[in-house]
Structure 1
Amino acid sequence: MLTKTIATAAGAIAGILLISTSAFAQTAECGEIQKTLQARKDLVAKANSATNSKKKMTPQEACALFGKLQANGAEGVKWIAANKEWCSIPDSFAEGFKTDHVKVSGIRTKICSVAAQATKMEAQARAQAQNGGGGGGLLGGPGLTGSFKMPQGAL
């Protein structure tokens, strides 16, 4: 599920990036967004390679990657809002970028909650291992406690 989510987001982001390459050829000021878009393209490529790789990304790694992608999107949305008129940025591009940013934020929230759950479960497993391996019960419970007296007399 995590890899499918990453692939979906990466595909949507790649579509936005294709539009962006020719949209900002005006002035040096208007070209500043290219740095943000290139960084976004690199992050998407990293997400795509993780999706297609045999070594899958951990939830913590995916959370960190989508955190960077979200920060990148926030920077891009802010820049587009400030320079939309001056740089003649098309409404379709601005709206598409903003929509993509909202989608990435939602995905990041889901991935990071999975990462938090995984971290919590790992901590619980470590604590159980340090406390004698979970109590030693037959079904993972606390096991039997107390003493057991052997019957006296003829057996």
Structure 2
Amino acid sequence: MTHIRSHLLAALAVAGFFMSAPAFAQSSACQEGQKILQERQGLIQQINKLTEGGKKKQIDPRSACSIFTKLVANGSAGEKWMTENKDWCQIPDQVVEGFSKDHKQSQTIKGNACQAAAKMAEMEKRAKQQAQQAQQGGMAGKMGGGLTGTLSIPKGAL
């Protein structure tokens, strides 16, 4: 979890830099970058909500996968934007490098979260199938042992 928090802090620092850069407001291209970073900030806030409570709180992999998928898409757009507008918007090389590093870390975390979500879905599917099989087996037992091909005839006076 500490690597997620450091990732979030670095992303917020990048966003803070862009919002205070004087050349940022001079161009519509620079304003586009500001929109990307504001969206990123909102996604990071969602991740913070998932991780509230520290180490003892269990994080739902499906929620984490969903948010990190959006964060990775945002990071791809951010990297592309930075590459295209680095000079025009006066973005320092270290900011671009930090953003790229954070983006790669987001991709790794997304992969782990989505893999855990897929395993969780598979386990739930198996549990549901087993419950259905057990329920069907229970009904067969109540109806005389299921379909065995034999019919028991009552013994006694007819």
Scaled by the length of structure 2, the TM-score of the pair is 0.74
Deviation of the 1:37 alpha carbon: 0.3
Query: What is the aligned partner in structure 1 of residue 143 from structure 2?
Result: none
Contact kept, 8 Å, 2:61 with 2:114, in 1: the verdict is yes
Query: What is the aligned partner in structure 2 of residue 147 from structure 1?
Result: none
Question: Structure 1 residues 115, 46: closer, same or farther in 2, change over 3 A?
Answer: same
Report Cα offsets for 1:12-65 as digits up to 9, x if no partner.
Answer: 422332333223243232221000000000000111122116986521111010
Report Cα offsets for 1:118-155 as digits up to 9, x if no partner.
Answer: 0110111001001116x89xxxxxxxxxxxxxxxxxxx
Contact kept, 8 Å, 2:10 with 2:98, in 1: the verdict is no
Contact kept, 8 Å, 2:50 with 2:64, in 1: the verdict is no
CA distance in 1, matches of 2:130, 2:3: 32
Task: Structure 1: state its 5+ residue gaps.
Answer: 137-155
Report Cα offsets for 1:48-86 as digits up to 9, x if no partner.
Answer: 122116986521111010000000000000011111122
Query: What is the aligned partner in structure 2 of residue 48 from structure 1?
Result: 48
Q: Where does 1:30-45 land on structure 2 (aligned, <5 Å)?
A: 30-45=30-45
Larger Rg: 2
Query: What is the aligned partner in structure 1 of residue 11 from structure 2?
Result: 13
CA distance in 2, matches of 1:131, 1:94: 55
Query: What is the aligned partner in structure 1 of residue 119 from structure 2?
Result: 117
Task: Structure 2: state its 5+ residue gaps.
Answer: 139-158
Contact kept, 8 Å, 1:20 with 1:93, in 2: the verdict is no
Scaled by the length of structure 1, the TM-score of the pair is 0.75
Report Cα offsets for 1:61-113 as digits up to 9, x if no partner.
Answer: 11010000000000000011111122221111111111110110011001111
Question: Structure 1 residues 97, 5: closer, same or farther in 2, change over 3 A?
Answer: closer
Cα RMSD of the aligned pairs, angstroms, is: 2.4
Query: What is the aligned partner in structure 2 of residue 22 from structure 1?
Result: 20
The count of residues paired between Structure 1 and Structure 2 equals 133
Q: Is the deviation greater in 15-24 or in 117-126?
A: 15-24
Secondary structure, in 3 states, of the residue corresponding to 1:88? coil
Query: What is the aligned partner in structure 1 of residue 73 from structure 2?
Result: 71
